[in-house]
Structure 1
Amino acid sequence: MTSTAESRTSTGYRSSGPEFGIRDRYISPEFARMENEKLWPHVWQVACRVEEVQNPGDYCEYTIADQSILLVRSEDGEIKAFHNACQHRGMRLKEGRGSCAELRCRSHAWCWNLDGSLNEVIDPQDFDPDAISPEALRLPECQAAVWAGFVFINMDLEAPSLEEFLGPVRSNVEHYGIDKMTCTRIRTTVIDANWKLCHEAFVETYHAVGTHPQALRYLDDTGMIYSQHGDHGMHRIRPGNMGKPSTRLEDDGSDRTDVLMALLADLGEFDYYNEQDVEMASSLMETVKALPDDVSLGSFFAGIRRQQSAAEGVDLSHYEDSDLLAGELWNVFPNFSIPCNAGNALILRFRPNGLNHEQSLLDVYYLKLVPEGAERPPLESEYYQDWRDTKLWGTVMMQDFTNLPIWQRGVHSIGYRGPVWGRPDGNVANLHRALAEYLSK
């Protein structure tokens, strides 16, 4: 009997949707044009964080393919999403991030209020009154909704609500307190690979043995849990498997200080755990050596996370060890990955880089719980045209970054016959199934 994931993915995407082979999905300009026409204008997608449009007048430009959407905090506190084009002759009203009192075109100075209503047309006597009426010239809007501090937009005004779109993602992810977290940093870079390949690298752990071999020192990657939920997917490490070597290795994990150091070095350096947790654990290696055999290394480190968080005013006492060690990794269709655990989260968004379908923009959002009543740290933003310009990504992420351009070149091969789906590929296959459904509409 096949598992749910196997039965869902056994037919793959080839039996439905447009007649394109797998290579076309990553390298075909025509396929990218279909995505630009039938996917991005009709799907919920993350546009920005609430911290980027915190106060009335704050704006943030979101780009996807050749479209620009302007997120604006209006005077009444509502976040609005407008198509970013002057209704006179199409000039973009704003670029990047900033703050303003009005939306005035830099070309002919036509002006709109923060709520999208018309403010001023220069020399109105020179135009047909009907053509420049407030009703005719109101800025066209997108749907906008906020969840967990992320501002989502959908250009399709007839699309179902964000709540309906997310389905079980909301309650499962909110279990880890993500809806109460603050974003402290957004780090962006360019990857020479199609956005789908980039996303696929973060929806399964099967690649750890080949891409992240050092992780097998502290992670038993066998028996991973995979599940599909509508257009979305989830995978998680089996409880008890974080903090012990993979059964693929001839290693019983008896040197637990070595295992813990490997875990802290890998996951601490790219902020999967809080810096304070890593420092505390690193200072207790002698304690680790004296741990009784019936106390797992994972339980020890989970206890440190509870203790350290409590000292900072954050209560994590109600979470299971597995919630504190590995949590869950949700992939939200089409391009949003949520690896989260209790206390903090590291979240990724993947987009085509403009109209270059073989290059992606990767945005990494760093979130953490801040004690209630404490001052929120300011949001920091970093951009690297070349990800190699900083090592702050951490070893694990840089290993993926190194692989992806090589993978992109690999799918160009006419000898590549297409994917062989297995249980670990269930979330990848589900992503392609959902994509095919959008493109077939």
Structure 2
Amino acid sequence: MNNSTAIREQAVARCPGDTVQDVLRADGDIMRQPEAYRSESYRFLGTEDVAFDRFTSAEFFHAEVERMWPRTWQWACREEHIPEPGDFYVYEVVGYSFIISRTDDGSIKAFYNACLHRGTKLKPSNSEGSGTDFTCPFHAWKWNLDGTLKDLPCQWDFPHVDKAKFTLPEARVGVWGGFIFINMDPDAPSLEEWLDPLPEHARAAALEDRYVSLHVEKELPCNWKVAMEAFMESYHLVGTHPQLLVANGDTNTQYDIYSDTVNRLFALTGVTSPNYKGESDEQLILDSMVLGDRDALGGRLEVPEGDTARHVMARFFKDALRDNVAADVDGLSTSEVIDTLQYFVFPNGFFFLALSFPVMYRFRPLGRDPNKSVFDLLLLPSLPKGGERPFPAERHHLGVDESFTTVPGMDAALGHVFDQDTGNMQAQQEGFYASHKAGETLANYQEVRIRHMHQTLDRFLAMPPLRTAR
């Protein structure tokens, strides 16, 4: 047997103990489980180290700016951020800036956020609001909501300006699940192709029927890919979140690769980690699943004899939500309610489907610094039953040293988990510079999503710079 064959055989190795699929079968509600939950799609992608200079090199970062970011679909905001004509929301990444706007006819546009006179930003960074036009703050040139030039002072001095040719340039726009995506590349695949198979897998989650109840924007002292990688595997729980091992799977998480742009993590809740060394039973698991104020539950939840913590917690969430949300919760399986089903959409979006953990992540470089990034965390609960859609929560900015636990509306225990995650990142970024070794060595299975992301990135970096890039 040659070394290559041996490595491939080792690549099929899995954590001993119950798999995700074993637990789903034991739940006893397989007829309610979507087909996507009952399938696997792993691929062995090799064993090569991932070079540290991908996270530190200014040249590598510049290649991302010129070749990757302009060619990819990125979610910029939610539809509820711009519900009415004239509403706008500014999205920025690596120096590119876009005004996401609702026009008079209700359509959505993404205009490059720069005046065609002398380049001044039409709207400030991180701004949102409403208006009847886009006016440059420097010389008061004005554009209509559809991007056509409305007025320029002293037009007599610009005989060479053809109004018809001074329409604001646009990026492509796509909408799925209530998210508004933009893409600078006119020749990129459609959003539908980019997301496949996520829309079908997420049909029951009805992300379009959610609203933004919390938005945290956290600065991080690391490369944007370092930040993303921390959320692409469950392997880190034993070292980073030991308090979660009683009631969460980690090394028995399922990982799936679909297309170049979509992969998945499927982690179990309400089971004990194979790495947990203490005593455990169903009641201890249930007690450990409860975050935050237990008094809000109306007393301690109990696991009846012969039942499981998974079933009890799923019923609790259904009972709590049934009369308060528009979603039909009774038809959902146990797994759809409590498990972590997280889809990564290249280059920087994470979409969670579970009813009990309705979060979304997005990661971007902070400006054009390879050593700094921004982590957007959105909480997206289901719409309330019979009421109007709530206004989206305002962005709450956290500096590098500020804790998630200080965010109004953030559960303290959950905030602590995010602090644990982000607390490792500066040490990892600094370690790249300190290391005698040249790259990170990844697990074949548990870290395959990280390798998949880098391989997709390489496909874009092999392309020439896009003409819209600067």
Normalised to the residue count of structure 1, the TM-score between the two structures is: 0.89
2: distance between equivalents of 1:398 and 1:216? 17
1: distance between equivalents of 2:169 and 2:69? 17
Q: Is the 8 A contact 2:237 2:244 kept in 1?
A: yes
Q: Is the 8 A contact 2:99 2:123 kept in 1?
A: yes
Kindly indicate whether residue 50 of structure 2 is the aligned counterpart of residue 10 of structure 1: no
> Which residue in 2 is equivalent to 1:336?
349
Q: Which amino acid aligns with 2:215?
A: I
Q: Is the 8 A contact 1:93 1:103 kept in 2?
A: yes
Identical-residue share of aligned pairs (%) = 30
3-state SS in 1 of match to 2:202? helix
Q: Is the 8 A contact 1:280 1:304 kept in 2?
A: no
Kindly indicate whether residue 426 of structure 2 is the aligned counterpart of residue 405 of structure 1: yes
1: distance between equivalents of 2:60 and 2:195? 26
Give the drift of 1:361. Answer: 0.8
Q: Which amino acid aligns with 1:308?
A: A
2: distance between equivalents of 1:369 and 1:329? 17
> Which residue in 1 is equivalent to 2:138?
107
Decide which of 364, 385, 388 is 1:375's aligned counterpart.
388
3-state SS in 1 of match to 2:350? strand
Q: Which amino acid aligns with 2:152?
A: V
> Which residue in 2 is equivalent to 1:388?
402
3-state SS in 1 of match to 2:388? coil
> Which residue in 2 is equivalent to 1:232?
262
> Which residue in 2 is equivalent to 1:245?
272
> Which residue in 2 is equivalent to 1:35?
64
- Can you give the 5+ residue segments of structure 2 that lack an aligned partner in the other structure? 1-8, 13-39, 464-470
Decide which of 155, 158, 167 is 1:124's aligned counterpart.
155
2: distance between equivalents of 1:69 and 1:26? 26
> Which residue in 2 is equivalent to 1:366?
379
* Deviation by residue 1:133-178 (Cα, 9 ceiling, x = unmatched): 1221000000011111111100112211111111101111233222
> Which residue in 2 is equivalent to 1:318?
331
2: distance between equivalents of 1:6 and 1:330? 14
* Deviation by residue 1:315-356 (Cα, 9 ceiling, x = unmatched): 211111111111411111111112330365111100000011
User: Is the alpha carbon distance of 1:5 and 1:25 closer, same or farther for their aligned partners in structure 2, counting shifts above 3 Å?
Assistant: farther
> Which residue in 1 is equivalent to 2:288?
262
User: Is the alpha carbon distance of 1:111 and 1:211 closer, same or farther for their aligned partners in structure 2, counting shifts above 3 Å?
Assistant: same
Kindly indicate whether residue 162 of structure 2 is the aligned counterpart of residue 133 of structure 1: yes
Q: Is the 8 A contact 2:43 2:257 kept in 1?
A: no
Q: Is the 8 A contact 2:100 2:108 kept in 1?
A: yes
Give the drift of 1:282. Answer: 6.2
Count residues in correspondence.
Answer: 414
Q: Is the 8 A contact 2:282 2:309 kept in 1?
A: no
Q: Is the 8 A contact 1:281 1:304 kept in 2?
A: no
Task: Report which stretch shifted further, 170-179 or 97-106.
Answer: 170-179
3-state SS in 2 of match to 1:157? coil
3-state SS in 2 of match to 1:341? coil
Q: Which amino acid aligns with 1:400?
A: D
Kindly indicate whether residue 216 of structure 2 is the aligned counterpart of residue 154 of structure 1: no
> Which residue in 2 is equivalent to 1:187?
216
Give the drift of 1:373. Answer: 3.1
> Which residue in 2 is equivalent to 1:214?
243
Kindly indicate whether residue 321 of structure 2 is the aligned counterpart of residue 309 of structure 1: yes
1: distance between equivalents of 2:357 and 2:57? 38
2: distance between equivalents of 1:296 and 1:404? 36
Q: Is the 8 A contact 1:178 1:345 kept in 2?
A: no
2: distance between equivalents of 1:283 and 1:111? 60
Give the drift of 1:81. Answer: 0.2
> Which residue in 1 is equivalent to 2:86?
57
Q: Is the 8 A contact 1:71 1:81 kept in 2?
A: yes
Kindly indicate whether residue 301 of structure 2 is the aligned counterpart of residue 296 of structure 1: no
Q: Which amino acid aligns with 1:417?
A: A
3-state SS in 1 of match to 2:447? helix
Q: Is the 8 A contact 2:247 2:272 kept in 1?
A: yes
Give the drift of 1:364. Answer: 0.7
Q: Is the 8 A contact 1:281 1:301 kept in 2?
A: no
> Which residue in 1 is equivalent to 2:107?
78
> Which residue in 2 is equivalent to 1:438?
460
1: distance between equivalents of 2:162 and 2:187? 25
1: distance between equivalents of 2:335 and 2:58? 43
3-state SS in 2 of match to 1:68? strand
* Deviation by residue 1:279-325 (Cα, 9 ceiling, x = unmatched): 6646233x33xx11x21011011011111111324421111111111
3-state SS in 2 of match to 1:364? strand
2: distance between equivalents of 1:162 and 1:146? 8
Q: Which amino acid aligns with 1:303?
A: R
2: distance between equivalents of 1:220 and 1:372? 33
User: Is the alpha carbon distance of 1:306 and 1:228 closer, same or farther for their aligned partners in structure 2, counting shifts above 3 Å?
Assistant: same
User: Is the alpha carbon distance of 1:348 and 1:387 closer, same or farther for their aligned partners in structure 2, counting shifts above 3 Å?
Assistant: farther
Kindly indicate whether residue 450 of structure 2 is the aligned counterpart of residue 428 of structure 1: yes
Q: Is the 8 A contact 1:5 1:426 kept in 2?
A: no
- Can you give the 5+ residue segments of structure 1 that lack an aligned partner in the other structure? 15-20, 270-274
Q: Which amino acid aligns with 2:397?
A: Y
Q: Is the 8 A contact 1:203 1:330 kept in 2?
A: no
Q: Which amino acid aligns with 2:299?
A: S
1: distance between equivalents of 2:348 and 2:278? 37
Q: Which amino acid aligns with 2:133?
A: E
Q: Which amino acid aligns with 1:245?
A: T
Q: CA RMSD in A?
A: 2.1
User: Is the alpha carbon distance of 1:126 and 1:99 closer, same or farther for their aligned partners in structure 2, counting shifts above 3 Å?
Assistant: same
- Moved beyond 4 Å, runs of 4+: 1-7, 278-282
User: Is the alpha carbon distance of 1:326 and 1:262 closer, same or farther for their aligned partners in structure 2, counting shifts above 3 Å?
Assistant: same
Normalised to the residue count of structure 2, the TM-score between the two structures is: 0.83
Give the drift of 1:379. Answer: 1.8
2: distance between equivalents of 1:194 and 1:372? 41
Q: Which amino acid aligns with 1:233?
A: N
User: Is the alpha carbon distance of 1:438 and 1:282 closer, same or farther for their aligned partners in structure 2, counting shifts above 3 Å?
Assistant: farther
